[in-house]
Structure 1
Amino acid sequence: MSGFDYDLFVIGGGSGGVRAGRVAAETGAKVALAEEFRMGGTCVIRGCVPKKLMVFASKFGPAVEDARRFGWEMEDGRFDWDRFRPMLDKELSRLEGIYRTNLGRPGTDIYDARAVVKDAHTVALSTGEEFTAKHILVATGGRPFVPDIPGAELGITSNEIFNLARLPKKVLIVGGGYIACEFACILNGLGVEVTQWHRGPQVLRGFDDEVRGHISELMVAQGIDLRVGVSPRAVEKTSEGLRVTGTEEHEVTVDEVLWATGRVPNSAGLGLEALGVELSANGAVVVDDYSQTAVPSIFAVGDVTDRINLTPVAIREGAAFVETVFKGNPVKPDHELVASAVFTQPEYGTVGMTEEQAHREVGNVDVYTASFRPMQKSFIDRQEKALFKLIVARESQKVLGCHIVADGAGEMIQLAAVAIKMGATKSDFDAAVAVHPTMAEEIVLMKSPTRRLEPIG
């Protein structure tokens, strides 16, 4: 480590940065990591983990009525935010401690400070300290985007939703992406009156069109006041709450406004552009296949690169970086066929191509679908339908994509992803014996295509 304070200095204590720092330190490298907020990053502190815990909590309210229909004598409950929130805070602190312990165990130096890049080998901290490093890894993640309209500062983002002093009675969620739809379902399940405005014609842009329509119908059926083609124009504080005016003469007064209008890479103010590190139009750090920037000593992983913004992907990118730089084994992180889940209620699990993408890129495609009321819902006359969908290349019969909307879809899609990643064909799916009675058996019981698509043009 001649001439440098550290072999590696990581900026950002999220999943990708912590994984890279820990694994690099385990090779014997001298490593430091700086985090200006809390260890664990968006996923642990302000994203996946607290959100999923709120998903769990929100399901118990509707489950009371379901239990009653199954024959249980149960009284209507009331969700106690004041009881739940300290439990949530305690769990996040526990997980943060695990991240910090695991990172420090192999000898990583941890700095609770903001870090910026001063030159190709120097990092400056908000404490006034400066350190040199042979390699610098930027892993600062993303941040919520807030629209530039009058009164926008009166609203909150997903960063603040978990720290509310009280649960609102009425909320307006602005946005139509997965974060907006997830929190619409969560808050609705907790008994909050939810209105959702989305400027586009349908929620969940970028996902499969049939699934998007299916989920929006389910959300409306659950009591969410979903309005598409509506954009906010201004937010004003009144004696009755926050009054939001929007396009098409829409107006609503609520207790809270949640901006869920997308996320942007958290690259501002790091000093990267001045050094020659290229940033894209939205601020993403531009990297090559090995996560290296235009400045050879500076690398970047995770959401700040805006490749696939998922925690497991950031972790893989961090591990691949260490393999490449510290183990002499050049590894490109694999971004193909990455499964994901949207935790609406019910959930949406997806891997591979959408129907529209396959039609556009492959042409000859068979689409298999099954939409039905699961046994648990049918028995109590719930109208909620599950949706299973396979996208298959007609000539090779290779399964190109799988989409599931159902309770537990996130769990199911993980297993389906293994088969699809291995190149499974439709006949491989058909050859598997169904597990009965389950919802998941539909994935191997769809025998005839619902649609046969021909090449466009």
Structure 2
Amino acid sequence: MSQREFDLIVIGAGSGGVRAARVAANHGARVAIAEEFRVGGTCVIRGCVPKKLYVLASRFRDAFDDAAGFGWSVEAPRFDWPRLVAAKEKEITRLEGIYAQNLERAGVELIRQRAVVEDGETVRFANGEMARTKTILIATGGAPVMAPRIPGIELAISSNEIFDLPTFPKRLLVIGAGYIAVEFAGVFGRLGSETHMAFRPELPLRGFDLDLRKRLAAAMTEDGVTFHAAAPPIALEKTCRGVLARLGNGAELEVDVVLAATGRRPATAGLGLEQAGARLSGDGAVIVDARARSSAPSIYAVGDVTDRINLTPVAIREGQAFADRLFGGRDVEVDYDSVPSAVFSTPEIGTVGLTEEEATRRFAEVAVFETAFRPMLATLSGRGARVYMKLLVDGASDRVVGAHIFGPEAGEMVQLVAIALRMRATKADFDATMALHPTMAEELVTMRAPARIFRG
């Protein structure tokens, strides 16, 4: 191994790194990819895939209740945490195998060791062996931040460990207000845990549209999650029955598990990047240009390790573009305009484009179209579920510049709306599109009168 030479060595076998390695190899490059944990990265192993499986599990609570309104008699259901954990593990192991097989089929050499950058042309592996390469791609993703830095924070766990708890927590405190905190609080609350969220702002999901944030807070509170807004923990203490959390507002909570979900930071510690000439930001992100190149000419980076848009499809697109440019002779760049995103809360959030706050700052005139209604499923089940949709339109061009959906299958709907925004569709285009009835999505093309108009 110490004498081997490659055209490309990828460090990190997550979604972006695997895509880059496979595409480069298909273009004829000699490629190796190094991974110290499991193939598939955060998304497949301990991120979006297992988390969505847990979200789906938590939603069966409503399904059992809804069934009665549609004439079904359902015996009292019982949830089994170890069975869910085992089923999750079986599925991600299957996916990991597929990722490894795809690398092998493409001719990529998979090295299951930690790798660090020795210099711009040399990579050193955990067993001490070296390999030379023309190009290095950093795709190590991110890692959870154990914050806030308070006494006792070591008693908390991160989102890495929450998936595999040996016993289901009867009482859970989630620290944080981002999408990771929201999703896990929703999952465990709906599965039967007494769930609390403690955070610094007044509402969860900073950076999302304010109407979505307000509706989500109300829905989660109604669902049984207790919010401690503007009251982040100031200390954690071990007790004989669990962990005592002292909050900033003077309140105290005793719980079984504390989940620190206050964000992630790029996983670049100890990789040797700065010594090799690659500049890092204050939080450790690899600083790259529009073509993923760092300040070291032979070192590139894609995905969460660059801390630009930390979404799996973005990492995949960046990895594809990188490999096509360097090894496929294609002059392509990634377009970050109109990137859709979803929060797999219950109800779900799907969003693309500008928030109302952003739109009113950017354009002289903004028309806001919105609707709220009861989904058909709730009419017979008797649940108080509501759907909310909002379109933001630039008054000068009539172009739809933002779309926000709150309700069942919001992520599925906003993926399709993103195509329209990407094509710079106007509100007239939406209005001219025939509705599909009866669906929730038809409301996106039937909103005629603006709820309000902002003029700067």
Same topology, TM > 0.5? yes
Counterpart code for 1:6? F
1:385 aligns with: 386
Distance 1:89 1:381 in 2: 35
Contact 1:290–1:330, Cα closer than 8 Å, also in 2? no
Q: Give 1:381 shift.
A: 2.9
Distance 1:198 1:48 in 2: 22
SS in 2 for 1:97: helix
1:246 aligns with: 247
1:372 aligns with: 373
Distance 2:69 2:393 in 1: 39
Distance 2:319 2:111 in 1: 19
1:58 aligns with: 58
1:75 aligns with: 75
Say yes or no: does 1:351 pair with 2:352: yes
Query: Could you report, residue by residue, the CA deviation over 1:71-97 in whole angstroms, capped at 9, with x for unpaired residues?
Result: 321222121011111111111100000
Query: Could you report, residue by residue, the CA deviation over 1:410-451 in whole angstroms, capped at 9, with x for unpaired residues?
Result: 111111111111111001111112111111111011101111
Contact 2:67–2:381, Cα closer than 8 Å, also in 1? no
Aligned residues with identical type, % of pairs: 52
SS in 1 for 2:272: coil
Say yes or no: does 1:138 pair with 2:132: no
Q: TM-score, structure 1 length as denominator? A: 0.97
Counterpart code for 1:24? A
1:99 aligns with: 99
1:29 aligns with: 29
SS in 2 for 1:292: coil
- Bigger drift between 377-386 and 177-186 goes to 377-386
Unaligned runs of 5+ in 1: none
SS in 2 for 1:358: helix
Q: Give 1:324 shift.
A: 1.2
Distance 2:172 2:11 in 1: 35
Backbone CA RMSD of aligned residues: 1.1
Query: Could you report, residue by residue, the CA deviation over 1:167-201 in whole angstroms, capped at 9, with x for unpaired residues?
Result: 11110001000010011111111111110111112
Q: Give 1:27 shift.
A: 1.2
Say yes or no: does 1:115 pair with 2:141: no
1:172 aligns with: 173
Q: Give 1:62 shift.
A: 2.3
Q: Give 1:235 shift.
A: 1.3
Say yes or no: does 1:419 pair with 2:420: yes
2:341 aligns with: 340
Q: TM-score, structure 2 length as denominator? A: 0.98
2:317 aligns with: 316
Q: Give 1:4 shift.
A: 7.0
Distance 2:115 2:432 in 1: 55
Distance 2:167 2:63 in 1: 23
After the TM superposition, which parts of structure 1 deviate over 4 Å for at least 4 consecutive aligned residues? none
Counterpart code for 2:237? E
SS in 1 for 2:398: coil
1:17 aligns with: 17
Say yes or no: does 1:449 pair with 2:453: no
Distance 1:263 1:31 in 2: 29
Counterpart code for 1:110? L
Q: Give 1:406 shift.
A: 0.9
Counterpart code for 1:225? T
Counterpart code for 1:43? C
Distance 1:86 1:296 in 2: 45
Counterpart code for 1:138? I
Count of residues in Structure 1 that have an aligned counterpart in Structure 2: 453
SS in 2 for 1:274: coil
1:282 aligns with: 283
2:404 aligns with: 403
Map 1:83-94 to 2 at 5 A: 83-94=83-94
Unaligned runs of 5+ in 2: none
Q: Give 1:311 shift.
A: 0.4
